[in-house]
Amino acid sequence: MSQTVDWGRTAYKDAWDQQLELVEQRRADACQDTLILTEHNPVFTIGARPGADQHLVWTEQILAQQGIEVVKTNRGGDITYHGPGQIVGYPIMDLREKKDLHAYLRDLEEVLIRTVAHFGIEAGRREGKTGIWIEERKIAAIGVAVKTWVTYHGFALNVDPDLSHFSGIVPCGITDGTVTSLAQECETPPLMGQVKARLVKEFWSLFQG
């Protein structure tokens, strides 16, 4: 059994708190595997990778002018941006039987590759780097965490976010690449609802296949 829940627009900290509640429920078998979808208010999140906070470029004054919050988080990875126009997915999944985080990450990557492929975009993995790429342009970021083999945090797919906000950071610590979106890459940009629907279909076809 599984479910998909769309939280709509959320503040990052609120969504994090709600994830942790669901993780505890899943650990107690009080809920089923769940894919949460949301769009966050503008925020830079700093991951657990050492030195990640050094990749914040903008000053407090610029952050205030741009209306962007900064949150330190416990997910894997470096620093990234979340904001409107970006689908953030938080799978709350029980991996206690498989206990293979590497395979889980590869599966998340595959979901995103298949999703953008549906819209005519050929994307893939990049040697030594996380996320999904179109050549040297990153279209999706991944950063996960697990608690006694129940997953939380997840991925972010750029549909049509304000890409100028990425200039306030060194995204995911990348100095040899840029950030892109479906709106940038597609001749006819898909609607957010279309991308969500495809993403949900690809996610469950892979994780329940």
| Cα(35)–Cα(33) distance, integer angstroms | 7
Find the helix or strand (DSSP H, E) in which 45 lies: strand 43-46
Burial of 44: CB neighbours in 10 Å, binned 0-12, 13-18, 19+: buried
- Tokens for 89? 């997915």
Annotated catalytic residue within 35, 141, 144, 172: 172
Q: Where are the alpha helices (DSSP H) in 3-138?
A: 12-27, 60-66, 101-118
Determine whether 186 is an active site residue.
Answer: no
Contact 117, 109 (CB under 8 A): no
Contact 1, 53 (CB under 8 A): no
Give the pairing type, strands 178-179 and 137-147.
parallel
What is the set of active-site residues?
172
